[in-house]
Amino acid sequence: MTIRADHPNLSLVKPNRPKFVEVDELAAMVRSDESFGVGGHHFARLPIALLRAIGKSGVKNLRYVSWAGGLPLELLLEAEAVAEIDICFSSLDIFGLPPRFRAAAETNALPVRDWTALAMIQALRAAQQNLPSMPFQLPQGSDMMARMPQATVARDPFSGAEVGLIPALRIDTLVLHAQRADESGNVQIIGPRALDYAMVGAARQVLVTVEEIVPVGALSNDGRQSILTRNQVSAIALAPGGAYPTSCLPFYVTDYQALSDTFGSRETPLMDSLSIPAEGIDGVLRDAAKVRADTVSAVPLPAVRHDAADASIDEVIAARIAVELDNDSFASAGAVSPLANVAYRLAKATHAPDMIITTMSCGHLDIAPSPMILSLIESLDAETAVAHAGGDDTYSTYYQPGAVTHEIVAAAQVDRRGRVNTIALRKPSGGMIRLPGQGGMADVANMHRDYLLYITRHSPLSIVDAVETASSARGLLTAAERGSHGYRTGRALVITDLCVFELDPSSRELIVVETMPCVTRDQIRDATGFAVTFSADCRETALPSAETLAVLRERIDPLSLRRLEFVSAKERGALIAEILSADRSAVERCIAASKQLGQTA
C-alpha cells in the first residue's frame, strides 16, 4: 500500500515526550466536530474530572465513539457536546438505563449507531495496524449487519467463506484516566484495560489524567500492570481523584452511594454532583481498596435477605444456572448480569471448583468466588484474578476461538426462535423504548459452546412470537453448522421465572423442557406470546438444597444483588438503598478486620 502525504495514519504518530499540563489545558485540546473516545470501563477508571472540564469548555458536535456509553456519555449529553453516537451498549449498571441517552435515542434527536463489539474492535485495530479494513466473524442470526452500514459481507479469497469487513475507525481524541505516569510520560494502567489499547492505537490525540506522577523507573516497582509508552500519549495532567466517583484501584473503590444520590436527583446537574467532596474522597473508599480477599472470607457479613428455609425464585434460578456449569466451564460475566455472576460463583464454590470465571467483560481472568459485596467486587476480583486483560485481546484469545463455554445474560425480549432484542421496544401507543444495546452478544451468541439466556419476568411482552429487531441470536445451531465454523456444540436454553425453554435443533424453535416449582402449564401458556410446545419428558425444576442455599446466601451473595433483576423500576430504588446500607456495613467490618491485621495502613 502506498502511503500518501495526506494518509490519515500519519496523524497517529506522536512525539516521544507528552506534555504535562493542567486538567483545564487538557480539556482545551479537545476541539468541536471531532470523533471522541473514552477509556475505562463501567464504573472503573473513568476520566470524570477531565470529562467535566471538557463539558464546561463549550466544545460541540462530538462524534462519541466507545464500546460503552454510560456515565461519560450522560455527562457529555448534558453539556450538549454530542452530535452523533457510536456504541455497542449504554447502561448505568445497577442503576438502570441512562435517561439522557434514552431521550436522545427515543426522540431521534441524535443519530445512534449500534455496533457489535467485534466489529468495533476490528475497526479500531485496522487503524492501529495501519490497514484500510479488517475482517470479522459475522454475527449469524442477528440483524446487526443491517444496523452497521459501514460494515459489509465479503468472501475470503482463500476459503471462499463469508466474513464481515469493516473499515478502519480512527479517533481524533481519546481521553482516559490511569493510575500513574512517570516523569518522561509513560503511563501505567492497573487492572482491566477494556478497549484502551486498541483505542489508543487508533487515536490521533491521547489525553490522560493520572493519580500520581512518579520518577522515571518507579513504574517497574509495581506488579501486574500495562504500560502506554510515552510515544503513545499526547498530554498528561495530574488529577488525584480524577476518576471519582468511579474507581481507580489501588487508590479508591467506586462510591456507589454518591452515584445513587446522583442518579436519584433530577435537579442537580451531573457536572456538579460528580465532583470530589470538599472534604476529599471518603477514607472508607480508600481503605476498601486495600482490603484483601482472605480477610473478607473470614468476616461475618450482614445479609439483606431473609432467613426463610424456602428458596425464592431468584435463588431457584441462580441455582438452576449453576447446574449448567462444571469443571470444564469457562464462564464470562458480562456488563450488567448480577444473577449470572452469582450463579458462576455459586457453581465454583460448590460443585465446579476447576471452572474458570472471568469478570469485567473478561478483564479479570480466572477469579476466585469472592462474596459479591458491591463496593469490593472489583478489588477482590482484581486481586484473585490470575491475569488482567483488555476486551480486544480476550476476544481474539478466548471468544473468537470458541474457548468460552458460557456468557449467561439477561434478555429484555426473546422470540420463539430464541432471537433476542435488547435494542428497542415498540410501545403499544406508538413510539419507542430504547434499551441498552447488545454489547457483544451478537458475536458471542454463536462463539460460546452453550447459549443460555434468562428472563426474570416471563410475560407475553418478554416472550414473543417474533422480535422486531434481532440484536443477537444463535444463528449457528446444529453440530454441522457450528463445526464448519470451528465452534463447539452445547445446550441452547432460555431460563425464566416460569420455565426452562430449549432451542430445538430440528425445528429451531423453543420448547419447554422444565417448569419452575409450583408453576402450571396453563400459566406458562398464558404468559407466552406464541403457542407453547412441551417436551415429552418435561419435568419440574429441582429446588436448591439447603447446603446450596446456605452457600448462596451467606458466602456468595449476602447482599442479595441478584434481586435487583427481579424487581420493577419503582421498587429498584428502595432495594438499592437497602443494599447500599448493608454494603457500607460489610465494607466497614472488612476494613476493621484489615486494620487489625495491618493491611490498610
Which pLDDT does position 245 carry in this prediction? 98
Predicted confidence band at 260 (pLDDT cuts at 50, 70, 90)? very high
The Cα 175–Cα 581 span in angstroms is 33
Q: Is residue 269 pLDDT above 60, yes or no?
A: yes
The Cα 517–Cα 523 span in angstroms is 12
- Percent pLDDT > 70 in the chain is 97
C-alpha dihedral, 11 to 30 to 50 to 205, nearest 10°:
0
CA distances from 567 to 36, 96, 403, 435, 561 (A): 36, 12, 34, 17, 11
pLDDT tens digits, one per residue of 488-530: 999 999 999 999 999 999 999 999 999 999 999 999 999 999 9
Q: Is residue 601 pLDDT above 60, yes or no?
A: no
- Tell me what the mean pLDDT of segment 284-296 comes to: 96
Cross-strand partners of 175: 38, 207
CB atoms within 10 A of CB 494: 22
Tell me, what amino acid is at 73? Answer: L
pLDDT tens digits, one per residue of 72-108: 999 999 999 999 999 999 999 999 999 999 999 999 9
Q: Is residue 5 pLDDT above 50, yes or no?
A: no
- Tell me what the mean pLDDT of segment 309-337 comes to: 92
Asked if residue 87 lies in contact with residue 335, where contact means CB atoms within 8 angstroms, the answer is no
Asked if residue 491 lies in contact with residue 323, where contact means CB atoms within 8 angstroms, the answer is no
- Percent pLDDT > 90 in the chain is 87
HEC string of 319-378 equals HHHHHCCCCCCEEECCCCCHHHHHHHHHHHHCCCCCCEEEECCCCEECCCCCCCCCCCHH
pLDDT tens digits, one per residue of 349-368: 999 999 999 998 889 999 99
pLDDT tens digits, one per residue of 270-289: 999 999 999 999 999 999 99
Q: Is residue 267 pLDDT above 80, yes or no?
A: no
CA angle 395, 397, 403 (to 5 degrees): 90
Please, what is the average pLDDT of the chain?
Answer: 94
Domains of the chain (ranges plus CATH)? 15-131+168-262 (3.40.1080.10), 290-407+544-561+570-601 (no CATH), 411-543 (3.40.1080.10)
The Cα 170–Cα 130 span in angstroms is 10
Cβ neighbours for 203, distance < 8 A, ≥ 6 positions apart? 12, 37, 170, 171, 172, 173, 174
Which pLDDT does position 3 carry in this prediction? 40
The Cα 155–Cα 142 span in angstroms is 19
Which pLDDT does position 362 carry in this prediction? 85
Predicted confidence band at 305 (pLDDT cuts at 50, 70, 90)? low
Which pLDDT does position 554 carry in this prediction? 92
Q: Is residue 264 pLDDT above 90, yes or no?
A: no
Predicted confidence band at 334 (pLDDT cuts at 50, 70, 90)? confident
* CA dihedral for 104, 108, 110, 113, sign (positive or negative): positive
Predicted confidence band at 419 (pLDDT cuts at 50, 70, 90)? very high
- Tell me what the mean pLDDT of segment 385-399 comes to: 94
Which pLDDT does position 600 carry in this prediction? 58
Asked if residue 349 lies in contact with residue 426, where contact means CB atoms within 8 angstroms, the answer is no
Q: Residue 539 phi/psi, 5° resolution? A: -135, 175
pLDDT tens digits, one per residue of 215-259: 999 998 877 889 999 999 999 999 999 999 999 999 999 999 999
CA distances from 115 to 89, 92, 155 (A): 8, 19, 21
Q: Which of 102-111, 419-428, 590-599 has the lowest mean pLDDT?
A: 590-599
The Cα 579–Cα 260 span in angstroms is 11
pLDDT tens digits, one per residue of 375-385: 999 999 999 99
- Tell me what the mean pLDDT of segment 149-177 comes to: 96
Cell of 505: 435443533
Asked if residue 425 lies in contact with residue 412, where contact means CB atoms within 8 angstroms, the answer is yes
Predicted confidence band at 399 (pLDDT cuts at 50, 70, 90)? very high
Q: Is residue 204 pLDDT above 90, yes or no?
A: yes
Q: What SS3 state is found at 435? A: coil
The runs of H, that is alpha helices, within 113-171 are: 117-128, 144-147
Predicted confidence band at 563 (pLDDT cuts at 50, 70, 90)? very high
Q: Is residue 6 pLDDT above 90, yes or no?
A: no
The Cα 467–Cα 355 span in angstroms is 34
